[in-house]
Chains A and B, each alone.
Chain A
Amino acid sequence: MLLFEASHLVKNYGANKVVDDLSFHIAKGECFGIIGPNGAGKTTTLKICLGQTHADSGSVTAFGLGVSSNLLAVKQRMGVVSQFDTLDPDFSCEENILAYGRYYGMSDRAIKERIPKLLDFAALTHKAKARPGELSGGMKRRLSLARALVNEPQLLVLDEPTTGLDPQARHLMWERLRELLSTGMSILLTTHFMDEAERLCTRLCMIDHGKKLIEGTPRSLIAEHLPPEITEDIEGVGVLKRRSNLEDLFFKYTGRQIRMDS
C-alpha cells in the first residue's frame, strides 16, 4: 500500500531550479531516504511534502489525500523533526510535549498519559523537569523526536536527524528509529551521512541540483553501480582494499569537489 507519493515536483527560486522533476513514493513500513550534498534540494523537497511551501508544479499525496487541499488532515497523521531544534526554551521536557500535543488537538489527559512513555522512549525520564538549555545535543534531538511522536503519527519525517550529534548519540537515535520501523511506522528522512542511510533506509534516492540521480535499496545500488571492492592508495598509510559502500556511490554521482554555493 502506498502511504506517500510525490510526483514530478518542480520548484524554482527565481532562475534557480531547486527541485527538478522529482518523483518518489513510500510504502507502509518503509524508511525512505533522500540523500544528497548540502544545497541539493533536500530541505525544499521536504517543505513541499509538508505543505509548507508550494511546488511550481507536481503533486504530493499522503494517506490517499492531496496534501495541498487536505493540509490539516495530512499533518494530523505526520510527525516532523526538523534539522534545527525548535524546542521551547521556557518549558521543561514534559511541558514541551504537552504544548506540542495540544497543537494536534489532543486533550491534556491523553497527552499526559503518553508523556511518561515518550520520555522513556527518548531516554529522558530523568530529565522530565529539565529545560532544553540543560540538555545535551543528543537529548534535545531525542526530545524533538518524542514531541513529534505525541500524536502517534503514521509517517515520521526527519530532516538530517543526527547532524551535529556525537557517535553515542547518533547510535542511540538510530536504535530508536529502527525500533519505530519495527512497529510498522514509516519514515521519510534526509541525510548527507551515507552510513546513516545505509543503516536505516529500506530504499533511498540520491539527488543533486534538485534532480534524482539514482534510486533503489542501498545494497542493490552499490551492487549495480560499483565494483564489489575498492582499492584506495592513501599517502603515508598505504594501499587499502575494502568493500565498496554508499559513500563511494555518492562520490561517483555527486563528485568530490567542495560546493561553493551551499
Chain B
Amino acid sequence: MGALMFDSMLSSRWISIFRRNFLVWRKQMWGSLVSHIAEPLIALLAFGYGLGALVGNVQTPFGTVPYFVFIASGLICMSTMNSASFEALYSAYSRLDHQKTWHGILNAAVIIDDIVLGEIVWAAFKGLFAASIILLVMMALLLVGGHALTWHMIFVLPVLALVALTFSSMGMIFTALAKGYDFFAFYMTLFLTPMMFMAGGFFPREQLPKAAQIITEYMPLTAAVNLVRPLFLGSWPEHVLINLAVLIAIAVIAFVIALKLLRKRFAE
C-alpha cells in the first residue's frame, strides 16, 4: 500500500481544485443547503416523532434511550454518506464528462492525481457541511424535546469527517468507471441503500438474523453508526480502533483504486 501511494506525484495543487468547487458552490450554497437538510429532517420528524411514538424506548449497550435520540444518531450518519456520495458521483461525473471541467484543468499545470484528491476532499467537505448543519438542528430539537446534550457530541463531527472521506473515495471509484449517470443507480441500489437500512441506523443491528449481522458488521456505515451513536447518548463507543480502522482502510484502498482507474481513463 505504501508503495502504491508513493508513486503518486501528489502536490499541493489539489487545493486549487477544491477552491474551484468551493467558488461554484458559494454561488448556490443556499439552494444546496435546503436540499441536503430537508430530507434528513423530514425523516427525523417522520420516524423520530411518528414511529418513535409507537416504538417508545430502545435498548442499547449504552442504556435505554428514546427512539428519537436513537434514530437521530443514525440519520446524521446516513446524511453524511448520502451527501458525500452524491457529490463524488453525480457532481464529479458532470465535471468529468458533461462539462469537461477536468479536461480544461488538465491543460494547466495540474495532473490527474491532484484532481482526484481535490475532488475527494471536496465531496467529503460537502458531506461534513451537511452533517454540521443537521447536527445543529438536531441539537436544537433534542433540547426542545427535553433531551440532554452531552459534551461527547463534540467528537461527532471529526468522526463524520472521516466517514465523509470514506464515502467520497468509494464514490470516486464508480465515477471513474461510469459511462453515464445511469450507472450510479447500481451503486445506489447495491451499496448505499442496503447500508442505509441495514447498518443499524433505523434499528439495532442485533434484531437482524445472525447471517445478516455478520454480513453487515464491516460495512463502513455500520462503523460510522457504531462510533457516532454512543456519542449522542453520552457514552464512549466500543471498539473505537477497529471501527476507525475499517473507515480508514476503506478510504485509503478506495482512493488508490479510484486514482489508478482515473489515471487510466485519462491516459486514453
Contacts and interface: CB of A to CB of B under 8 A. Distances in A.
A248 interface: no
A34 to B, nearest CB: 17
A85 B104 CA distance: 8
A131 B7 CA distance: 39
Contacts of B219: none
A108 to B, nearest CB: 10
Contacts of A80: 107-108
Nearest to B99: A89
Interface in B76-101: 99-101
B20 A102 contact: yes
B103 A90 contact: no
Interface residues of A, number: 29
Interface string A42-60: 0000000010111000000
Contacts of A104: 108-109
Given A54-B267, A103-B16, A105-B13, A88 B101 contact: yes
A90 B27 contact: yes
Given A52-B266, A105-B13, A86 B107 contact: yes
Given A53-B267, A71-B111, A75-B108, A86 B103 contact: yes
The size bracket of the interface on B is 20 to 34
A72 interface: yes
Nearest to B18: A102
A163 interface: no
Contacts of A191: none
A87 B104 contact: yes
B142 interface: no
Contacts of B100: 84-86
A148 interface: yes
B244 interface: no
Interface in A25-78: 50, 52-54, 71-72, 75-76
Contact of A52 (B9, B11, B106): B106
B19 interface: yes
Interface of A: 50, 52-54, 71-72, 75-76, 80-82, 84-91, 95, 98-100, 102-105, 148, 151
Query: 9 closest Cβ contacts across the A-B interface?
Result: A86-B104, A103-B108, A80-B107, A102-B16, A75-B109, A76-B109, A86-B100, A90-B24, A99-B20
Given A75-B110, A99-B19, 7 more contacts: A71-B9, A72-B9, A84-B100, A86-B107, A88-B24, A90-B24, A100-B104
